[in-house]
Structure 1
Amino acid sequence: MIWGVLLCCLLTPAAGHQTRERLPFFHGHVFENSPSASKVNGLSIPMRRIDAQKWCPLSGMHFKLYGNDSDDFRAFAHHKRGNIMLKTSRVLDREARSEYLLRLGLCCQTCASESVVFEVASVKVDVLDTNDHEPTFRGADAVHITLDDTTALRSVVYRLEAVDADSGNNAELTYVSIPKNGSFYVVPKTGEVLLVDSILGLPSKVKFYVFARDHGWPPLTSRSVVVTVAPQRWATRAAEVAGSGRGGRSPRALIDPGTAVSLNVSEDASIGSVITSLSPTRFPSAAYELVYPESESSPVTVGRESGDITISRRLDRETEPFLELTVKIQDKRGVYYSSINPH
């Protein structure tokens, strides 16, 4: 009785159509967009590894692949080398499918009947990326920014974002701007638009183009995004704060003599930057004079003829968080004072 049980156990693997032993594993790859009948690279299955003669004589040996989308490949024997290889049956797209998990079946005489197929190996095929997608920006093709001309330097005023359907280096992006300008800088790795120089007193809009370029070979470049920055001069808003109701009349600071106004200025504002330009409403021409503080100790100057308040030395918020100025404005009818409090 005991010997009969042992005999049945020994005969079971040989009598079945499928071995219960762990199947040998093989791994290869093929680049997407390769033409049909391209060989799967790095994949060569030796006959001795699958012990083909165990299942059927060499003269009647055939191979078949199983698994999802196994029809995308075909197996063939390289008789001179004694290896089994795979070739593609169509052009593959990594974005549609990046890997295949297949099983290699061995047939005797014919593979028409499933009952005569033995699984002899498991195979994984990776579909590798080629740089076939150019970067694209999310959102509109044009960006319009209205920016306060007292915005602190190194502020992020906008962030552009592009995407690439490829993978690896083919999807890594660098942002570039054309033409170069002294006021704004586009961070190559992030697409952030930084204010790097003061736009105080800038008379016109700043316009530049931003592109995204991938790191593939050959590198692909996106279509451009047009970025237009329109400085919003403090002078226009100052008139509204002062209650003159003339904020839209002029880009200059139309103020009534004796009016106190406040202004926020970045400590990073460069020397020579014009904070604002005074222009009293009661008379068309005037002479301007800085009364307090004295010009030797003041970080700003006031143009006698123009009324431009200009930075003359570096500002430091930690040592001088605010500064009160008193400017004398004079014409033939008299002398008027106006206090300005730059913070």
Structure 2
Amino acid sequence: MAAAGYQARERLPFFHGHVFENSPVASKVNALSIPVRRVDAQKWCPVSGMHFKLYGNGSDDFRAFAHHRRGNLLLKTSRVLDREARSEYRLSVGVCCQTCASDSVVSEVASVKVDVLDTNDHAPTFRSADTVHITLDDTTALRSVVHRLEAVDADSGKNAELTYISVPQNGSFYVVPKTGEVLLVDSILGLPSQVRFTVFARDHGWPPLTSEGVVVTIAPQRWETRNGELARRSQRAGRSARALLDPGSLVHLNVSEDASIGSVITSLSPTRFQSAAYELIYPETQSSPVSVGRDSGDITISRRLDREAESTVELTVKIQDKRGV
């Protein structure tokens, strides 16, 4: 409602359109068509030779032209646009008389917003180096996150959504497609050599783009206390040099409370006996969260673990020489 002596300013018509980045010069701004009758240009500029002009920051990136058959005003690009440099424009449409000199602009007749839409023109890139070396305790609990890879994409929307893949796939480690986390999914006890695989990030754009690969090398670390000579003797005997235990040794293991029932968390193998039998002495079998294989020495999870209820479990295992010594 206009007050006495004042006239409320008429709200300018607003128009909204879009154009894809990297479109060639003279590409039309989509979904933007300004009917000349809406802006009532003759009211502002009755002089013959009237035409429209764009004003505002970035107005030189577009040009306005009239579509005489339809009676509409359209916009076209005057250069190739880059969404990463600028994602939107807010411009004004003015009416110019004849020469369109600065002092002949009568008034702005409409406001325009142009969005620059993303095209999939950037491949994902990893934040880390192109090689990752990890030394992992061979008693690490299953389902442990041993590393996390993170890639970024300068695009937006689905063009920036990423999926992580590993090549070649292996049975010991799994790369989570959505997060890039590297999980230990199978025991690496007795693994004869290091594990090597390459991780890539691929976006969801079209066509999809794939990053350069990151080579991940994971080397199991042995926790045996044997000296080198005993290790060589064990290898000559056909036994694994990993996870071997001297009688009386105290072994500390870190196990995730999420470890599944049936998971083997370590394997006992004394250096004094070529053939041994194993027996869990403490705690009693019914109260213990793990079991010990009589012939194998494998320590296996037998029930769900709860760190809040029991953060530490102490085991005593009796090892006997099967030869009766």
Maintained 8 Å contact 1:252/1:278? no
Whole-angstrom distance in 2 between the partners of 1:28 and 1:277: 73
Q: Which residue number corresponds to residue 145 of structure 2?
A: 156
Matches within 5 A, 1:321-336: 321-329=313-321, 335=325
Any idea what SS the aligned residue of 2:179 has?
Answer: coil
- CA 1:174–1:70 in structure 2 vs 1: closer, same or farther (change >3 Å)? same
- CA 1:88–1:262 in structure 2 vs 1: closer, same or farther (change >3 Å)? same
Whole-angstrom distance in 1 between the partners of 2:169 and 2:77: 48
1:24 equivalent in alignment to 2:16: no
Whole-angstrom distance in 1 between the partners of 2:262 and 2:172: 11
Maintained 8 Å contact 1:23/1:121? yes
- CA 1:231–1:248 in structure 2 vs 1: closer, same or farther (change >3 Å)? farther
Which structure has the larger Rg?
A: 1
- CA 1:26–1:252 in structure 2 vs 1: closer, same or farther (change >3 Å)? closer
Whole-angstrom distance in 2 between the partners of 1:176 and 1:112: 60
* Alignment counterpart, residue 35 of structure 2, candidates 40, 43, 46: 46
Q: Which residue number corresponds to residue 300 of structure 1?
A: 292
Structure 1 residue 97: Cα displacement: 0.4
Q: Which residue number corresponds to residue 34 of structure 1?
A: 23
- CA 1:314–1:248 in structure 2 vs 1: closer, same or farther (change >3 Å)? farther
Aligned residues: 300
Whole-angstrom distance in 2 between the partners of 1:47 and 1:253: 83
TM-score by length of 2: 0.81
Maintained 8 Å contact 2:280/2:315? no
Q: Which has the higher helix share?
A: 1
Structure 1 residue 228: Cα displacement: 1.1
- CA 1:77–1:248 in structure 2 vs 1: closer, same or farther (change >3 Å)? farther
* Alignment counterpart, residue 278 of structure 2, candidates 276, 290, 295: 290
Any idea what SS the aligned residue of 2:23 has?
Answer: coil
- CA 1:54–1:70 in structure 2 vs 1: closer, same or farther (change >3 Å)? same
- CA 1:229–1:66 in structure 2 vs 1: closer, same or farther (change >3 Å)? same
1:309 equivalent in alignment to 2:297: yes
Gaps of 5+ in 1: 1-5, 14-18, 336-343
1:187 equivalent in alignment to 2:185: no
Q: Which residue number corresponds to residue 99 of structure 1?
A: 88
Q: Which residue number corresponds to residue 195 of structure 2?
A: 206
Which deviations, in whole Å up to 9, do the C-alpha atoms of 1:189-242 show, x marking residues without a partner? 11111112222222211111111111111111111111111111232xxx2xxx
- CA 1:272–1:59 in structure 2 vs 1: closer, same or farther (change >3 Å)? same
Whole-angstrom distance in 2 between the partners of 1:131 and 1:123: 26
Matches within 5 A, 1:1-343: 20-57=9-46, 59-235=48-224, 239=225, 246=227, 250=231, 251-252=241-242, 257=247, 259-264=248-253, 266=255, 268=260, 270=262, 275-280=267-272, 286-290=274-278, 299-301=291-293, 309-311=297-299, 314=302, 317=305, 321-329=313-321, 335=325
- CA 1:292–1:44 in structure 2 vs 1: closer, same or farther (change >3 Å)? closer
Any idea what SS the aligned residue of 1:170 has?
Answer: helix
- Kindly, what percent of the aligned residue pairs are identical? 66
Maintained 8 Å contact 2:96/2:104? no
Q: Which amino acid aligns with 1:290?
A: Y
Which deviations, in whole Å up to 9, do the C-alpha atoms of 1:11-47 show, x marking residues without a partner? xx9xxxxx94221111100000000000000100001
Kindly report the root-mean-square deviation, in angstroms, between the aligned alpha carbons of the 2 structures: 3.2
TM-score by length of 1: 0.77
Whole-angstrom distance in 2 between the partners of 1:213 and 1:293: 52
